[in-house]
Structure 1
């Protein structure tokens, strides 16, 4: 009986509610990814990772809630045993896929997706969220991993708006913007001193720079929180000293690049969204116009100053 209880305990541990509401992390460095969804709204995600084939069952969530202190965010329940921990049987054999070819909006980092008869969409996206900042190459195992993230939604995607202008005698590129969902700002209520969200509502903006002083191709410039109450943010591409815990590589140069892109993990189980754009040569008239844009974007937020 003790052995039986232990087995059931281990099986129950395979059924996981999401720890943080977001397009949900399912796997890292997954290959040969498949997605099927039955008429009950249960998704089976198949993939190869760590030398074996996995089948993961996910269900019970759609869209997202707007930020509310003390309230839970929308989250999937996930069974990494493919249904055994939930039903005492695996669901892969005989699973009837009711999801049709994907007809939803174009998604960044798209791997696969499908659209249900009720019009809701499912999607899997994969990208390197955990890269170290300041253009450094990964030095820890998970930093360079590619995260496979699952979403389920109806209606509009989150909106990531970013503008580029100039800062400090116009020598440095500057990014500012906001993240909203259905017209409401996306932000959290708690965060660590290092800018790590402390609740299921908080979101980081992950900024990459292309062909910069860090080297050719895309490099992670930095990541930072959207601001409480407004979903706004601002960031200057200045020289930086390495952060605590980083390799001792000396002061990092400005990450000015030919192009920039930014990605935000979607709220709830809504897809991750991305922006890409190029900096412009300094233009005095445009600079004045962008001052007005900053004031409109920041609103009452005093953590960003129009530059």
Structure 2
């Protein structure tokens, strides 16, 4: 039994997977911003080399548009040499003041630019394998560093929980919006990975589940075109089908991965920050519990109220 949802295999990388990826597994991270709309990101790489990255040319996000490219930074990994043909990073003067913007998940550095806009760096594990597998390669364990620049409200990730198929399975659903309008892309691969600059993946983690103690990646998927709605049922999954990455030699089914807590991290549209939702999980449904029955009815009504014509998330 399968709830319609666009699943994504961690082995398939999306072309524009976040606010904007700068590098992976870096440390000693610093952020400077000048009064010309430029940011200088400095860090030490896994090989121990200090690197300076100059970023400019993007802010906020465009609403989905088939003809206009989504906002995206220009990045100079030579610290400004390619843009200015000199050691620009050595004379870069930061004019950024203390950050007083909204709370950000996974934040490493953030500040307020002279024009009132914000810049931030977030660092989290994007490529964890789905279906609760423990990462078996270094690439699956990497911490990605994402840069963002914005002056608007953040994208909004709304999530509700209930049960599905007469209470047999745990279920969550919601919608992803930016400035009140749906976040979605125009195409995906066969396995659900975005293939354009507007699609964004939502990464669902489960806590203290059958997979083991602590946080594990349950799955990743996109919000639907054109509603921004999504839904996910905690069913058993065949790890050998659907494009899921799995350890060499593994065959068979993965169990239902519901846990005592959940968190969902959504890659920010354009160059806005990544956002996160988290909450405690529900207990198993009991048809003899009047509170469960009433709650399920209320959540079914909530789902119906946000569908706006979505045809993939109508199952109660």
TM-score by length of 2: 0.89
Distance 2:155 2:145 in 1: 19
Q: Corresponding residue for 1:12?
A: none
State the 1:258 CA deviation. Answer: 0.5
Alpha-carbon distance between aligned partners in 1 of 2:54 and 2:146, rounded to the nearest angstrom: 13
State the SS of the aligned residue for 2:88. Answer: coil
| DSSP-derived class of the 2:139 partner | coil
Please point out which of 276, 282, 302 is paired with 1:293. Answer: 302
Instruction: Determine which of 61, 67, 70 is the counterpart of 2:58.
Output: 61
In the alignment, structure 1 segments of 5+ residues that lack a partner are: 1-18
Could you say which residue in structure 1 is the equivalent of 2:246? 246
Q: Secondary structure at the match of 1:143?
A: helix
d(CA) in 1 for partners of 2:112, 2:128: 31
Which residue is equivalent to 2:270?
A: 268
Q: Is the 8 A contact 2:17 2:267 kept in 1?
A: no
Structure 2 unmatched runs, 5+: 1-14, 286-291
Q: Is the 8 A contact 2:25 2:142 kept in 1?
A: yes
CA contact (8 A) 1:21 1:75 kept: no
Equivalent in the alignment of 2:167 = 170
Q: For residues 26 and 156 of structure 1, do their structure 2 counterparts lie closer, same or farther at Cα, with a shift above 3 Å needed?
A: same
Q: Distance in 2 between matches of 1:206 and 1:33?
A: 24
- Give me the whole-angstrom Cα distance separating, in 2, the residues matched to 1:101 and 1:27: 24
Give the count of matched residue pairs. 289
- More contact order relative to length (CA 8 Å, sep ≥ 6): 2
Aligned residues of 1:31 and 1:49 also touching (Cα < 8 A): yes
Task: Tell me what 1:20 maps to.
Answer: 16
Q: What do you get for the CA RMSD once the two structures are aligned?
A: 1.3
Q: Secondary structure at the match of 1:142?
A: helix
1:158 to 155, 160, 185: 155
Partner residue, 2:230: 233
Kindly state the Cα deviation for residue 249 of structure 1 after the two structures are TM-superposed. Answer: 4.3
Q: Classify the secondary structure of the residue corresponding to 1:113.
A: strand
Determine the structure 1 residue equivalent to 2:197: 200
Q: Secondary structure at the match of 1:123?
A: strand
Which residue is 1:3 aligned to?
none
| Offset of residue 217 of structure 1 | 0.3
Shift of 1:158: 0.2
Q: Is the 8 A contact 1:121 1:152 kept in 2?
A: yes
Q: Following TM superposition, by how much is the alpha carbon of 1:21 offset from its aligned partner in structure 2, in angstroms?
A: 7.8
Select which of 40, 46, 50 maps to 1:50.
46
Aligned partners of 1:21 and 1:201 also within 8 Å:
no
> d(CA) in 1 for partners of 2:315 and 2:114?
47
Cα deviation, 1:172-195, whole Å, max 9, x if unaligned, reads 210100100000000000110011
Give the conservation status (yes or no) of the 8 Å contact 1:112–1:125: yes
Shift of 1:250: 2.5
CA contact (8 A) 2:150 2:271 kept: yes
Q: Distance in 1 between matches of 2:134 and 2:17?
A: 28
Work out the CA distance in 1 between the residues paired with 2:162 and 2:150: 34
**2: distance between equivalents of 1:20 and 1:210?**
27
Select 1:30's aligned residue among 16, 26, 29: 26
Aligned counterparts, 1:218-229, within 5 A: 218-229=215-226
Do 2:16 and 2:200's aligned partners in 1 also have CA atoms closer than 8 Å? no
59-68 or 84-93: bigger deviation: 84-93
